[in-house]
Amino acid sequence: MQKTFDNKYELARYFGEILLKASQQKPELYIALSGGSTPKAIFEVLAKEYARSIDWTKIRFFWGDERCVAPNDPESNFGMTREYLFDHVKTRGVNIFRVQGELEPNNALTNYISQIDENVPKLNGLPHFDIMLLGMGDDGHTASIFPHQIELWNSDAICELAQHPDSGQNRVTLSGNVINNSQQIFFLVTGSNKAEKVDEIINRKGNYKQYPAALVDAGKTVWLMDKDAANRLTQQ
């Protein structure tokens, strides 16, 4: 399923309502956040317009992936979330489970696997997130599973260590089996640079299965896009 919005702020409000409703339906909510730049606008709206209506203390925050950097590094997905969201809403500190990117990468990986294994409820023997937020790179990657390491998608491990194809930066990422074990999955995709891959994946064009984003369970996934990212879809 897909929904297109005039801009990322309207998209953010739509997601805010989803998060509000989900947080009212359960005593605690398990969410895995996406990183990169797209979530910034979403988190800004959530911080400004949902600070009071959502009980943020009920939400247990994880990340779908994290760069192996310290939390105050500009590259840190946790650091970005803290700046745009956590500094503006009343969360419960113990409910924030970040990747300890300051550790040696393999230690960061095993530490995060333990945090998830010990704190996220299981379904089918795998961690089961209520909400999985994903972004998509213009190369079709999602979380930190890139096309050149697409085999990581089918790992039996909860998380894997990946490397960015250009910078070689170490990343900790959820594996595809955990991503697809979520209750609801939302792709948050904005910008015209994503339009080609969005069209290829949603319309199953060409060799679309070479993109990790195409391996996300379409039956559980809602694509939330702005007009630019959905531009090619509307040209059908």
- Cβ nearer to ligand 6PG, comparing 80 with 120: 80
Choosing from 16, 137, 140, 176, the residue that interacts with ligand 6PG (CB under 6 A) is 137
Q: In whole angstroms, how close is the CB of 165 to ligand 6PG at the nearest point?
A: 11
DSSP-derived secondary structure for 126-159:
EE--SEEEE---TTS-BTTB-GGGGGGGG-SSSE
Parallel/antiparallel/unpaired status of strands 59-63 and 29-33 = parallel
Residue 160, interface with ligand 6PG (CB under 6 A)? no
Q: Strand, coil or helix: what is 72?
A: coil
Q: In whole angstroms, how close is the CB of 219 to ligand 6PG at the nearest point?
A: 21
Distances from the Cα of 112 to the Cα of 51, 63, 97, angstroms? 28, 10, 8
Choosing from 16, 79, 101, 135, the residue that interacts with ligand 6PG (CB under 6 A) is 135
Determine contact, residues 23/29, Cβ cutoff 8 Å.
Answer: yes
Helical segments of 56-126, H only:
77-81, 105-119
Contacts with ligand 6PG in 31-60 (CB under 6 A)? 34-38
Q: In whole angstroms, how close is the CB of 52 to ligand 6PG at the nearest point?
A: 27
- Cβ nearer to ligand 6PG, comparing 57 with 163: 163
Binding region for ligand 6PG (CB under 6 A): 34-38, 64-65, 77, 135-137, 141-144
